[in-house]
Amino acid sequence: MQQTATEGRIERENLRNPFSRLLRFNALLVFVLGAAFAGEAPAVSVPYGVFSISSPGKNPTQNALANANVDGITIAQTWNDLEPNEGEYHFEFLDGAIAMCAAHNKKVLLCIGMQNGKPAWVNTSVTLAGGSFFTFLNDGVPTTIPVFWDPTFLNKKTAMIAALGAHLTNNSNIVVVVASFANATSEDWNVPHAQTDIAQWLTLGYTSDKLVAAGQRIIDATMAAFPNQIVTLAVSGNGHLGGGLNLDPTSDYVPRTVVGLERALWPGRLNIQKNDLSTFIPPAPGTDSLYQMI
């Protein structure tokens, strides 16, 4: 089947945006979305164009709103600000920022920081339930997160996603919602895979199937909560060092497996995102690269 790809430039507005470490570079970003398979009838149309990134918890700038070349705005908020205490949701910021976009005829890409900005009560809940944690160096800083497949962690994430969708899915200005499940630092794909990381993952019970199942659960929850929107997933690899030092059969085994399963389950609604800083993107079909998933 033939595939197409949507390429849109994202205007960098804040170098300290924690949702993607790529934003630290003083350069124009390329944001690539995989469009629906040819021959499928998508439930919603695939958005095209230039989307400007706003920092988490910050309203879009007036420059972005007034710029006729900007088609949409990425509205971002941390999970901690959205749900500071379990079951206590604060939608005021999102409602206001989305209304600003609507007033200027800008579409919205919605992103909630579920890892870098998760509330402390989530870790407490995982600890009390006897869950497992993974510790790694994030730019030299020791960082501890629940393992991606932890059932308590997944329960809390999916409950928040359901509440978010119940409040926002009927807002026609929201056209894309970000999903993430293999994201150690931001909402971009990041599974630490240095030699010591791999040893720790395996000690904690990592299997490819566990990560695939976690991905399916998060994507399914997002699809169900946002039936009127496209869901986008940022992908990358999990490393492949050889000599038995591998998490998966191939570097891209997990994202490729999840994408295949979920696209079959939700035809035309799952787009694949590759956050990239490059002057070159391989031509379609991107053979032997992560772009091949797009």
Lowest mean pLDDT across 38-42, 47-51, 65-69, 91-95: 38-42
Convert the pLDDT of each residue in 60-103 to its tens digit.
Answer: 999 999 999 999 999 999 999 999 999 999 999 999 999 999 99
Q: Residue 59 and residue 54: Cα distance in Å, rounded?
A: 7
- State residue 34's pLDDT score: 41
* pLDDT interval class at 16 (50, 70, 90): very low
Report domain extents, the chain.
5-120+153-194+212-293
Please check the confidence at residue 249 and state whether its pLDDT lies above 80: yes
Interval 254-259 mean pLDDT? 96
Structure confidence at residue 29 (pLDDT):
33
Instruction: Give the burial string for 50-67 (b: 16+ CB within 10 Å, else e).
Output: ebbbbbbbebbbeebbee
pLDDT at 285: 84
Cβ-based neighbours of 34, under 8 Å, separated by 6 or more: 3, 5, 6, 271, 272, 273, 293, 294
Q: Are the CB atoms for 233 and 272 separated by under 8 Å?
A: yes
Query: Which tokens sit at 283?
Result: 């031509």
Q: Is the pLDDT of residue 159 over 60?
A: yes
Those residues whose C-beta lies under 8 Å from the C-beta of residue 22, and which sit 6 or more positions away, are 29, 188, 275, 276, 277
CA separation, residue 215 to residues 43, 72, 183, 261, 275 (Å): 21, 27, 11, 10, 18
Q: Is pLDDT above 80 for 36? A: no
Report the pLDDT value the prediction gives residue 274, as an integer from 0 to 100: 81
Does residue 153 contact residue 86 with C-beta atoms inside 8 Å? no
Q: How confident is the model at residue 43 (pLDDT cuts 50, 70, 90)?
A: low
Mean pLDDT over all residues of the chain? 85
Evaluate if residue 35 carries a pLDDT over 60. no
Residue 110: closest CA among 14, 179, 11, 178: 178
Q: Which residue has the higher pLDDT, 22 or 287?
A: 287
**What amino acid occupies position 176?**
V
Q: Which residue pairs from 79-84 have beta carbons closer than 8 angstroms and sit at least 24 positions apart in sequence?
A: 79/112, 79/113, 79/114, 79/117, 79/118, 79/119, 79/122, 79/160, 80/113, 80/117, 80/118, 80/119, 80/120, 81/56, 81/57, 81/117, 82/112, 82/160, 82/164, 83/119, 83/160, 83/163, 84/119
Report, as an integer, the average pLDDT of 182-192.
95
**pLDDT given for residue 202 in this prediction:** 95
Kindly tell me if the per-residue pLDDT of 254 is higher than 60.
yes
- The C-alpha atoms of residue 261 and residue 186 are separated, in whole angstroms, by 24
Q: Is the pLDDT of residue 107 over 80?
A: yes
pLDDT-based confidence at residue 287 (cuts at 50, 70, 90): confident
Distance CA 87, CA 104 (A): 32
Is the pLDDT higher at 129 or at 37? 129
Please answer whether residues 145 and 184 qualify as being in contact, where contact means their C-beta atoms are separated by less than 8 angstroms.
Answer: yes
Section 277-284 average pLDDT: 81
Q: Quick check: 145 pLDDT over 60?
A: yes
CB 251 within 8 A of CB 218: no
What does CATH list as the number for 5-120+153-194+212-293? Answer: 3.20.20
**Per-residue pLDDT at 24 exceeds 70:** no
